[in-house]
Amino acid sequence: MHAGILGRSLPFSVFIQTEVKRRTIRICSFFEFNRIPRGLCSCRRSVLMMEPEVPARENPADSKPVVSEVESTRATTGKRKIAEDSEANVSGKKRRGAGGKTLRPGERYVPPPQKRNPGVSFSQEHFSETSYYFDGGLRKVHPYYFDFKTYCKGRWIGKSLLEVFESEFRAETVEYYQQAAKEGRIRLNEAPVEDLSVVLKNNDHMRNTVHRHEPPVVGTPLEILVDDGQVLVVDKPASIPVHPCGRFRHNTVIFILGKEYGVSELHTVHRLDRLTSGVLLFARTVETSKKLDKMVRDREIEKEYVCRVEGEFPEGELVCEEPILVVSFKVGLCRVDPKGKECRTVFQRLSFNGKTSVVRCSPLTGRTHQIRVHLQFLGFPILNDPIYGSSAWGPNRGKGGVVGKSDEEILQALVEEHRSQENPDLLNDLTGGKEVAEKNFTDKCRQQVDPCGDETDVITDSTSVKDSINLPPTTANGSEKTADVPKISQDHLCSECKIVRPDPTEKELIMYLHALRYKGPDFEYFTRLPEWAKEDWVEPW
């Protein structure tokens, strides 16, 4: 069996050097933590790469502490030299920092940016940061310590660290960051920062050690369909992102392949949305990547999806050619608009069970969310599409392109809807990670420490962590647990450790859209039809 999808270029860091007054200025653009990691791929579906990061540690006190919740996925090659200002002497001689730069009294020295090596892929060092365990049909990741790293953004220059935390990193309180600084978790140019009033300068390098929690995903195994040395084709389960993004890192296809199958240095050919399942195609070599990339651009690859939509879809072939416009590049939200890019999708109904229809979809172009947007326009949104099937688009949910709201109002309405539904992961998708998880989602997400356990035991569901570790592989209530799950690490500063989050349901993790087949001039990759796409399927809720 075989597989492959929409080829689309992914963002990458841009480095520009300009000679100004005999001095070279390097301007770096960095992605925020919740965005796609920079090292992942270049504009030509390049290798999924990332420079080595500082390995995860069981205790931040043992780490080289680190600021910002911005993930710099390109690491340094070699150690930064931390310059110490020479003491000014009584005779008034000039004070100099490292590199011979003359510093004014009280001026802080900032080392120049390091050279980076983008040619290092995810390695065993990254995969060993933590481990998986399975519980209640879900794949979960043990919390772990992680360093977020970034150089100072242009808009931060002249602001204090405290101001930056208050304005851009509101997932935690100011009190949290102040305490983290006292414990050496925040570093500026590798030196511990104890006072967050320090003013940021160009080229400042910041690191922030955090206790990281990842959302669970479905526990369905990731099946390799083809691996012939040229291509790697997998059947991706729903709910698993292709690569690290937002709060997901180990619960991603790239990390699962690396951790469980020893596969790395892959080249992306296309991506699938987190909630979408099916054929996912990677190239093993640069040559194969270029070949497939050209096929995608020349539209030589036939793509076939299957979905289940609301209502009775018309019989026969239906073609939608409405142009699609990106409403928000940050979150990838789109809609039909005359100013959008040309699109073409061919639909054909496969079955109808009296309430919903199974539809075959053949996108002849590769626009973001093309199938989902065209089905919304036609008035037959995917049955459980949390975005394009939402009432936030108005009474008719965007049918015929009629919305009656501005782009900003649509986005805000979607955010409010998923906040009220206590859905932090979709909130994360819709806000670009700015509002990663609300800390008080009513009683379902209340802070609660086990009064009968020791100080490291935190209630995570109906049993405490301590109790769950001692349970056998199959518990009395039928949930599956691995037999050798290590004790979940707790962190006294981590607010997420004290939050009770109910496990996501199947309805929240699976969208009824599946990449069924990818076919090229000399290959054809396909998967089995999912259960929900079968004619006799009955909706479980």
Catalytic annotation, residues: 273
Check if the beta carbon of residue 29 is closer than 8 Å to that of residue 70: no
Structure letter (DSSP) for residue 38:
G
Asked whether the CA dihedral 214, 215, 220, 226 is positive or negative, the reply is: negative
- What gap in Å lies between CA 316 and CA 293, rounded to an integer? 32
- What gap in Å lies between CA 231 and CA 3, rounded to an integer? 9
- What gap in Å lies between CA 73 and CA 68, rounded to an integer? 13
Task: Give 28: exposed, middle or buried? Use CB within 10 Å, 0-12, 13-18, 19+.
Answer: buried
One-letter amino acid of 199? V
Q: What is the DSSP string of 159-211?
A: SBHHHHHHHH-TTS-HHHHHHHHHTT-EEETTEE---TTPBP-TT-EEEEEEE
Q: Locate tokens 């809720």: which residue?
A: 541
Distance from CA of residue 164 to its chain's centroid? 22
Check if the beta carbon of residue 225 is closer than 8 Å to that of residue 235: yes
- Which runs of E-coded beta strand occur in 213-355? 217-218, 223-227, 231-236, 267-268, 277-283, 302-310, 317-320, 324-328, 333-336, 345-352
Q: Which of helix, strand or coil describes residue 469? A: helix
- What gap in Å lies between CA 307 and CA 363, rounded to an integer? 13
- What gap in Å lies between CA 222 and CA 263, rounded to an integer? 13
Q: For the chain, first and last CA: distance in Å?
A: 32
Q: Closest Cα partner for 203 from 101, 340, 323?
A: 101
- What gap in Å lies between CA 94 and CA 101, rounded to an integer? 10
Q: What is the DSSP string of 493-520?
A: T-SGGGB--PPPPHHHH--SEEEEEEEE
Judging by DSSP bridges, how do beta strands 277-283 and 302-310 pair with one another? unpaired
One-letter amino acid of 240? I
Structure tokens at 93: 């001689």
